[in-house]
Each structure stands twice: as structure tokens, then as C-alpha cells.
Amino acid sequence: MDPQDAHTWEPIGVVRSAYGSRREAPKQGPEAGGQAVIELREQWAPALKGLEPGRYLWVLTYFHQADRPRQEVHPRGDPSRPLTGLFNSRAPSRPNPIGLTLVKLAAIAGNKLTVRGLEALDGTPVLDLKPYVPGIDEPRD
């Protein structure tokens, strides 16, 4: 692909969560990511066909409040931890601030998906949803 043919991303929806700012959101990890709603644009509601509560989904988001990219970061933003390379972390300060989170689908109502485990701020643009597929999404040693 010619780099000059770069695609312009069009969000398919937005996250509705209790976290309005990065300060309010819990740090990434087991304690993070409560319940949230992914509100899709109406045009994408038919694309939800076949999804059922209890399934796991990959959610790709755009970190719209991320800082400028950095080469090195303190893991989980904890300055007591030694610096590590950005690509050895899940810090949001990335060259292309795209988030990837595995969530559990709790409910579907029209174009709204209630999910558990999404650590995203209210208003975070959603770029895509993909099903988690056991056997394919698991590491193969």
C-alpha cells in the first residue's frame, strides 16, 4: 500500500462509561474496566446480528485523550517502576493511539452493547468490534 493512500478512520460508535477523565479511570489491570455501554451508530446495528450475551469481543478504540507518543514509559504510569520501551507496555501514549480490549458482552439493546471489562473514558471513539474466537485468538506455542 502506498503510504499516501492512508485511510481516514471513521468511528462506528462511542463508549459511554462512568469515567470522564483519565484521573477518574482506574489503572489498567484486573481492577480496571467496569461496566460500560458501547453505543454504535444506527447504521451499524444490523452488523450485531449473531452476537449474544456471554460472548467475548475485542474492542478497538481511539485514545482521544492520550498524551503525545513517548519512546519509554513507566509501566501503569507508576514512577517507582523502571522505564521500559513503549512497545513493551500498554500505555496510551502511542504513535497511533489505538486501544485493544477484550470485553464480555452482557446485553444488547438495539444499537447499544453493555459490556464488562472496558477501561475506556466516556466519549472514547470505537473503531471496530471483533469476536473473540477460542482456538484462533489463543497463543500457539
> Measuring CA to CA, how many Å separate 119 from each of 30, 45, 80, 114, 132?
10, 23, 23, 13, 17
pLDDT in tens, 7-57: 788 999 999 988 765 565 555 554 556 899 999 999 999 999 999 999 999
Q: For the whole model, what pTM was predicted?
A: 0.84
Grid cell in block for residue 99: 486501544
Contacts of residue 34, defined as CB under 8 A and 6 or more positions apart, other chains included, come to 17, 18, 116
- Domains annotated for the chain, with CATH where assigned, are 10-131 (2.40.30.70)
pLDDT in tens, 88-134: 888 888 888 899 999 999 999 999 999 999 988 999 999 999 999 99
Bridge partners for 114 per DSSP: 37, 107
